[in-house]
Each structure stands twice: as C-alpha cells, then as structure tokens.
C-alpha cells in the first residue's frame, strides 16, 4: 500500500523552513504543526483543501463558509475568555483569491502543549488496571479524586463555552486538551497527572446557538464518547455535570433537556 500523500500546501507554507509537519488528517481538514512569525513560535495550521469531486463554485462556497464559521466562533470565545486556542491568521479565499489559485482555505491558531484528554484518561485507566491489586481503598479513592477533578474542569470549560453562546458540535475526549501548568513536572512513574488547564479544540463543526437542545446534544455526545472509550471513568461523569452546573447559570434547563436527549438515544438503541 502506498503512503498517503496529502494535498500540496498553500502559499506561504509551501516554502517554509522547516516545513509544516502533518499531525492528523480528516475527511474535511488536515492539521499541521508549523511556526508563526519566527521559528521559536509554534502554531497549529488547519487546512481545508478543495474537493475535486465537488462543483468548483459550490466547493469554494462551502469551504469559505466553514472556515469563516470556525474562525468567528474562535474569535468570539477568545473575547469571552473561554479556554480555546487564539486565532493567529486566516485565509478563506484560497491563495489570496487568485484566478486558478489553490482553492482551499486555512487558519492558523495558537499551539497548545499537552495531551488530549483521551490520552490522559487512557493512561490513567491503564495505570489503574496494572496497579489495582497493590492499591488499598484510600489510594484508589485518591486516584479517582484526580479524575473527578479533571472531569469537573472539563464541565466548567463546556459551561463557559455554552455561556458564550457557542456549541461545539463534536465534543469528544479527543477535542479537549489538558495543558500542564507552567513548570509542572507531572506525576512521575507512580501515577498519571491530571493537573493543568482544560482547553477546547477543533471547532470545525461549531456554531453559535442559544438553544438548550444544542447544548444538551453537546453533553450527550461527550457522555456517549466517554462511555464507549473510557469505561472506568464513565461512572464519574456526574462530576463533569457538576462542573458544568457550577460554571453556567443556564445549566438547569440544558441538563433537563439532556434527559430528553438521553431518552431519545435509548429508544434509537432499542430499535436499532
């Protein structure tokens, strides 16, 4: 099987030293690590390449609409003090809008150090599985308290997001990052550190909304994601809802709607 070759990079990223490093690729976008202004400033570059199977006019319109929506959500959240990457630069015209140009769109964001929450929880659950036999009840409680604290911070971050009038649209533990505190050394070999700030990332499906239904769906998607990928953390999900409730005054109505969304989800599961 041939190695995947991503689309050509747009200007000016096709002529930088060192070149951008491809981190992840999705159906709609590619994420690179690059630099901003000088080599000592790391940055995240998200590129939406043009889709050759779409009509060129429709493709340009959809690409522009989606990149602008993501940029507007990020800019609004930064103004509101929500923990998200800062927006550094943007091109929605595709190579400056030149005739016959590159055709895609890109945005550059602040680089966030740390692991995605998915990795943090996976490491913690693996560590607990390997060490549970040697832990007494008080040690298990201390370890679970760490994750309770992390889930509560996740809930607070989502509460701030919804308070700002934005819904994420794809909340999973892969779209939340744990940025270590400055100077933190981590937990070492004895445990897995959950210290740091929770940062929301990847707003490709985000939108501005004041609907409790949309907020409840955000929470439900995350709840299902945790249930399917982090079985040991799933029983602690109420801690996330507590952090959400404490950070967002509109939480009661959103959480009430969450019950309705859960009911619909259970019915769909029963009916296949």
Asked whether 134 and 104 are in contact (CB, 8 A), the reply is no
Catalytic (active site) residue 170: yes
Question: Would you say 50 and 104 are in contact if contact means Cβ atoms under 8 Å apart?
Answer: yes
Rounded distance between C-alpha atoms, residue 150 and residue 243, angstroms: 10
Q: Give the SS3 label for residue 196.
A: coil
Q: Which residues pair with 198 in a beta bridge?
A: 178
> DSSP code of 253?
H
Cα distance between residue 199 and residue 176, in whole Å? 6
Residues in the chain: 272
Helix intervals (H) in 132-250: 137-163, 212-229, 237-247
What the block records as the tokens of 154 is 């996740």
Residue entry with tokens 């509560």? 152
Distances 64 to 43, 48, 190, 230 between C-alpha atoms, Å: 21, 9, 48, 36
Of 89, 159, 150, give the one whose Cα is nearest residue 125: 150
Catalytic residue among 170, 185, 197, 212: 170
Identify the CA nearest to 118 among candidates 169, 170, 161, 175. Answer: 175
CA-wise closest residue to 115 among 208, 28, 178:
178
What is the spatial distance between Cα 123 and Cα 9, in angstroms, rounded to a whole number?
A: 34
Q: Catalogue the active-site residues.
A: 170
């Amino acid at each position: 099987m041939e190695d995947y070759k991503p689309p050509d990079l747009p200007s000016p990223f096709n002529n930088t030293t060192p070149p951008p490093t491809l981190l992840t690729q999705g159906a709609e976008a590619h994420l690179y690590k690059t630099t901003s202004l000088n080599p000592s400033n790391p940055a995240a570059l998200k590129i939406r390449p043009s889709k050759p199977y779409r009509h060129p006019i429709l493709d340009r319109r959809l690409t522009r609409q989606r990149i602008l929506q993501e940029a507007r959500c990020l800019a609004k959240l930064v103004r509101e003090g929500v923990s998200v990457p800062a927006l550094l630069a943007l091109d929605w015209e595709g190579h400056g809008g030149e005739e016959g140009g590159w055709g895609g769109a890109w945005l550059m964001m602040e680089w966030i150090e740390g692991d995605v929450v998915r990795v943090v929880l996976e490491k913690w659950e693996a560590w607990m599985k390997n060490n549970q036999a040697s832990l007494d009840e008080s040690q298990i409680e201390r370890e679970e308290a760490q994750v309770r604290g992390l889930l509560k911070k996740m809930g607070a971050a989502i509460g701030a997001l919804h308070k700002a009038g934005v819904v994420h649209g794809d909340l999973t533990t892969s779209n939340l990052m744990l940025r270590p505190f400055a100077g933190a050394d981590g937990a070492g070999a004895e445990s897995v550190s959950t210290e740091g700030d929770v940062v929301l990332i990847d707003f490709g499906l985000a939108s501005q909304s004041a609907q409790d239904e949309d907020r409840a769906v955000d929470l439900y998607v995350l709840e299902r994601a945790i249930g399917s990928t982090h079985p040991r953390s799933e029983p602690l999900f109420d801690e996330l809802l507590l952090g959400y409730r404490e950070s967002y005054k509109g939480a009661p109505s959103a959480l009430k709607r969450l019950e309705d969304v859960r009911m619909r989800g259970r019915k769909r599961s029963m009916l296949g």
